[in-house]
Amino acid sequence: DMSAEERAFQARIDDGIRIEPKDWMPEAYRKTLIRQISQHAHSEIVGQLPEGNWVTRAPTLKRKSILLAKIQDEAGHGLYLYSAAETLGVSRDELLQALHSGKAKYSSIFNYPTLSWADMGAIGWLVDGSAIINQIPLCRCSYGPYSRAMIRVCKEESFHARQGYDIMLALCNGTAEQKAMAQDALNRWWWPSLMMFGPSDANSVNSAQSTQWRIKLFSNDELRQRMVDQTVPQAEFLGLTIPDPDLKWNAERGHYDFGEIDWAEFHAVLQGNGPCNRERLRTRVKAWDDGQWFRDALVAHAEKHATDKAA
Ligand code: ACO
């Protein structure tokens, strides 16, 4: 049974009115948003690591500047999203503590290794492509600060996806060896990219409530289907083969049918046992620890300044 406050809250959501930080909200709504926005923020921050691996080995100066700009965008998205989470009454320190202790989730996709330069292409094309499909609807979600953050994030993600496809295009128009690198990257990133959308609708525990609250406007499976439908023609244009023998156009449905995801792999990654989970966490914690002197210096400076003024 809903209280009068809850009924009024739901009515606002149903009318498409945004909820703002100082508005009354059910505790569970606040909790769900802190969970999703912080997971999203952590994903952006950890998401810098697989690409950071290639900054020193980018093939040209131009590719290197583009990659650097993209990674910096991701740092910005993370900070933007932590700020959105803070409007819900949680502190950034608490959120980082949860990430560094291994308690918080971040997207499964960032626990896979980047083995060749072609992976920079596949990540932009498939991973950022999927991120856009997931995040465009979030620009219209019910929580004001999150929805507004998504507008800028999506614009930058479009640049990221475009640069990835451009790398794939260059490799596919190159030598046979370069094209083979592109195919290998597609083979390795295809299934993990489909997993980004989360469990199947039947197993998505949070979907019903998040849909009622308009945090979710489309289901995990709907968005995953959209990704497959959008990406197959792009792979065809590149002359690459999607690594799924069951992939085929279904004229009746007006969509591509595709094979079953390896959910055991998905759950292993979520439990911390993907190929790079431990390395990613170790790198993040080290970066945080290495920055301690700088944070200390900022606090010392602020304190000195405060004493100077008081004197
Ligand atoms: N990687 C890690 N965890 C996942 C993933 C994934 N790909 N997909 C689902 N999960 C987790 C959920 O967080 C949830 O865990 P929790 O209840 O402990 O928090 C659990 O699996 C069950 O999934 P759902 O019930 O479907 O969860 P939810 O309704 O939150 O849907 C989704 C998951 C679609 C990822 C949603 O949280 C979302 O849209 N998040 C915002 C986008 C985002 O975080 N993107 C990050 C990657 S993109 C990028 O950063 C470039």
Sign of CA pseudo-dihedral 242, 248, 250, 251: positive
List the residue whose alpha carbon is closest to atom 31 of ligand 1: 198
- Binding site membership of 148 for ligand 1 (Cβ less than 6 Å): no
Among 42, 107, 133, which is best to mutate for testing ligand 1, by the most ligand atoms less than 8 A from CB?
107
In the prediction, which pLDDT does 157 show? Answer: 97
CB neighbour list of residue 226: distance below 8 Å, 6 or more residues apart: 133, 218
How far is the C-alpha of 22 from the C-alpha of 24, rounded, in Å? 7
How far is the C-alpha of 278 from the C-alpha of 285, rounded, in Å? 11
In the prediction, which pLDDT does 309 show? Answer: 78
- Binding site membership of 142 for ligand 1 (Cβ less than 6 Å): no
In the prediction, which pLDDT does 285 show? Answer: 98
In the prediction, which pLDDT does 311 show? Answer: 67
Q: Which atom of ligand 1 is nearest to the CA of 223?
A: 34
Q: Is 26 exposed, middle or buried (0-12, 13-18, 19+ CB in 10 A)?
A: middle
Q: Which residues does residue 249 pair with via DSSP β-bridges, in sequence order?
A: 256
Among 29, 38, 39, which is best to mutate for testing ligand 1, by the most ligand atoms less than 8 A from CB?
39
Question: pTM score > 0.90 for this model?
Answer: yes
Contacts of 236-243 with CB under 8 Å at 24 or more apart are: 238/168, 238/169, 238/172, 238/182, 239/172, 239/179, 240/168, 240/172, 240/179, 240/182, 240/183, 240/186, 241/183, 241/186, 242/186, 242/190, 243/186, 243/187, 243/190, 243/191
In the prediction, which pLDDT does 251 show? Answer: 98
Question: 272-309, pLDDT tens digit by residue?
Answer: 999 999 999 999 999 999 999 999 999 999 999 998 87
Strand 248-250 with 255-257, pairing:
antiparallel
- Binding site membership of 244 for ligand 1 (Cβ less than 6 Å): no
Residues of the chain with pLDDT under 70: 311
Place of tokens 């049974």: 1
- DSSP class of residue 248? E
- Binding site membership of 274 for ligand 1 (Cβ less than 6 Å): no
Q: Is 146 exposed, middle or buried (0-12, 13-18, 19+ CB in 10 A)?
A: buried
